[in-house]
Amino acid sequence: MTLINTLSRLLASADISLSDQQKQQLVGYVEMLNKWNKAYNLTSVRDPEQMLTRHILDSIVVNPHLQGERFIDVGTGPGLPGIPLAIVRPDAHFTLLDSLGKRIRFLRQVQHELKLENIEPVQSRVEAFSAEPPFDGVISRAFASLNDMVSWCHHLPAKNGAFYALKGVLPDEEIAALPADYSVDKILRLTVPQLEGERHLVIIKAI
C-alpha cells in the first residue's frame, strides 16, 4: 500500500477531507523526514507508515480547535505539529521555533521543496525570541510542562491569544500547578485513528 493510500484511509477514518495537493505535501514531508532522519536523527519513529499516524494525524487533529491566523510552534523539532498544520491550514501563518540548527536546516529544505509559503523557520531559544506582532496561538507538542510553557512563552501570545498544549494522558498535576494568572480555557480529548494511548489538547489563556 502506498503512503498516499494509507494517508487517505487514515484521513477518512478521522473524518478529515483534504485536497490531493495537501495529501501530496503531507506525504512529501514524511518522505523528507524519513530521508533526513538517517543522518540527522530528527525523530525516533523510523517507519514512514508509522509517521503518518504518530506525526501527521496526531498533529492535524488539532486544526479545528485553533483560533486565529498567526501561530508559533515552540520547540518544533522536525516541524511537529507546525508543518502538517501549515499544510492543512494554508490561510494561516506558522513560525517554527527551535534552538537546534540542524532542525532549522531541515525545515528550510522542507519549505523549499514543498513550496510552503506560510511557514517561517527560526533558530532561537524561546526566551530570546521577540514576538512582534504577538501571536494568536502558541502551540507545543511534547515541549515542556504547562507551567514551563506559560512561563517561558508568556511574551508570545496576543491579548486574546491562547496556549495550545498537545498532551498524551491528561496532566492533572501540571494543570493544578499553573500560575494563578493563567486558567485552563478548554480540555479536549482527541481521537487519532490507529494510535494507542490517550491524546488531549489543553487550551490555556491568561486571566
**Residue 113's Cα: distance from chain center in Å?**
19
DSSP bridge pairs for 22: none
Is 114 annotated as a binding-site member? no
Task: Return the biggest CA–CA distance within the chain.
Answer: 51
Contact 199, 192 (CB under 8 A): yes
Is 166 annotated as a binding-site member? no
What does the block give as the cell for 156? 508570545
What does the block give as the cell for 134? 504577538
Is 137 annotated as a binding-site member? no
CA distances from 57 to 23, 26, 102, 135 (A): 12, 10, 24, 24
Q: Which residues are annotated as a binding site for S-adenosyl-L-methionine?
A: 75, 80, 126-127, 141
Q: Which residues are annotated as a binding site?
A: 75, 80, 126-127, 141
